[in-house]
Amino acid sequence: MLTPQVVITHLISPPAEPMLREAGFAVVARHDETPPPRPEVLRMIAGASAVLTVLSVKVDDEFLAAAGPGLRIVANYAVGFDNIDVAACRRRGVRASNTPGVLTEATADIAWSLILSAARRVIEGDRLVRTGQWQGWRPTELLGLELSGATLGIIGAGRIGCATARRSSGFNMRVVYSHPRDVPELDGPLAARRVELDELLQTSDIVSLHVPYRPENRHMLDARRLALLRDGALLINTARGSLIDEAALVRELSTGRIRAGLDVYEFEPRLSPGLTELPNVVLLPHLGSATHATRRAMARLAAENIIAVLSGREPLTPIA
Ligand code: GLV
Ligand code: GLV
C-alpha cells in the first residue's frame, strides 16, 4: 500500500509535522504562512489523504474534487469552521475536524485585551505619547469607562463566552448573557442572568460576541440592533466579522456614541471604508488564539485528528 500523504498548506507551529512523520505518513508541508493563491492550494492537495489547513482556505466542492477520491480528512487549524462546507465533506465521505477547547483561554484573554483597551482608551493614549503630543496630566484627558459596577453582556455562552464571563469576577461586574439555554456555570458562580438579545444590547455597558458564524447569524448585529446599544457602550468581537454588519458599525461608530474592539472583520483582511480613521475603535489582526502554547496545542490536536482518521479511528474533535 502507498504511504498516505498529508499536506500542510501553511507554516504552522511545531509539532504537527514531526508527529505526522513519526506516524509514518509522507508529509508535504508548505513552509510559508502567507496565504497561497487558490490555484497553488488546489495543486498542492492533489492526491492527499489528509489536509491540514487554516481558516482563510475555503474547503468546498472545488477543494475536495482537487484533492481527489483518496482524501479522508481535512483538519482545520481553528475552532471556527465557517470556511468548511460540512455538507460537501459528508457527501464525499470526507471527515473534518476543528480545534475546540485548546484556544478557549487565549481567545478570552484577547477579548479582555480589547475590553480594557477600549474601555480605558489605551491605544489612543499610547498614540498621544508616542507622537509627542502629550503635554502632561490633564483633568479630562482620555476619560474612559469604569469597569467596576458595569454590566458585561455575553452573546453566546459556549466555551469562549463562559471563559470571557469568568474573567469578569475580579472586576466587580454584573453579567448577562444570551444563549439558547440556561448556563449553570454562569448562573451559579457569577449570578448571571440569561436575557433576550435585544435586552442584552439595551442593558449592557460592554457587549462581547462569542457565537460561531453560521449563515443564519450573518449580520446578527445589524443597524437596528447596533442602535439599541447604550450611549458609551463597548462592542467587542473576537468571533467572526460577518456577525456584524460592518458598514453599519462604521456608521454607528462615526457618531462617537459607542466604542468597539475588533479582532475579526467581515471581509478580512480588508476593512470596511472608514474603519481605520475612527479613533473610537481598537483594531487587532485576528490574534485570538495567537499564543505560543495555544498554537502548539492546536497543531497537536490537528495532527491527532489526522492520525486517528488515517489509522481507521474516529477523529477526536469531528465537525463532519
Ligand atoms: C480562529 O478564529 C478560530 O476559529 O480558531
Ligand atoms: C469554542 O471553543 C467555543 O465553543 O466557544
pLDDT (tens digit per residue) in 198-220: 999 999 999 999 999 999 999 99
Same domain? For 264 and 139 the reply is yes
Sequential DSSP letters for 12-47: --TTHHHHHHHTT-EEEE----SPPPHHHHHHHTTT
Is the CB of 100 inside a 6 Å radius of any atom of ligand 2? yes
Same domain? For 87 and 131 the reply is no
With a cut of 80, say whether residue 7 has pLDDT above it. yes
Same domain? For 153 and 91 the reply is no
What is the rounded average pLDDT of the residues 12-22?
Answer: 96
Domain annotation covers residue 184: yes
Is the CB of 100 inside a 6 Å radius of any atom of ligand 1? no
Q: What are phi and psi of 217, to 5 degrees?
A: -105, 15
The pLDDT assigned to 311 comes to 97
Query: What's the CATH number where 169 sits?
Result: 3.40.50.720
Same domain? For 267 and 147 the reply is yes
Pocket test for ligand 1, best of 76, 79, 97, 287 (most atoms within 8 A of CB): 79
Catalytic status, residue 179: no
- Closest C-alpha among 262, 267, 266 to residue 281: 262
Catalytic status, residue 121: no
Is the CB of 104 inside a 6 Å radius of any atom of ligand 2? yes
| Alpha-carbon torsion, ordered 52, 55, 57, 62, to 10 deg | 80
The pLDDT assigned to 2 comes to 85
CA 79 to ligand 2 center in whole angstroms: 7
Q: Chain-centre distance of CA 84, in angstroms? A: 15
Domain annotation covers residue 66: yes
With a cut of 70, say whether residue 51 has pLDDT above it. yes
- Closest C-alpha among 170, 165, 202 to residue 184: 165
Residue found by looking up cell 477600549 in the block: 118
Domain annotation covers residue 315: no
Domain annotation covers residue 256: yes
Same domain? For 220 and 143 the reply is yes
Is the CB of 179 inside a 6 Å radius of any atom of ligand 2? no
Q: What are phi and psi of 314, to 5 degrees?
A: -70, 145
Domain annotation covers residue 186: yes
Catalytic status, residue 141: no
Same domain? For 177 and 245 the reply is yes
For residue 136, count other CB atoms closer than 10 A to its CB: 5
With a cut of 90, say whether residue 153 has pLDDT above it. yes
Same domain? For 299 and 269 the reply is no
The pLDDT assigned to 1 comes to 66
Same domain? For 147 and 23 the reply is no
Domain annotation covers residue 85: yes
How many domains are there within the chain?
2
Q: Whose CA is nearest to atom 3 of ligand 2?
A: 159
Domain annotation covers residue 319: no
Domain span including residue 17: 5-102+292-310
C-alpha cell at 175: 453579567
Strand pairing category for 26-29 and 73-76: unpaired
SS3 of 245, please?
Answer: coil
SS3 of 121, please?
Answer: coil
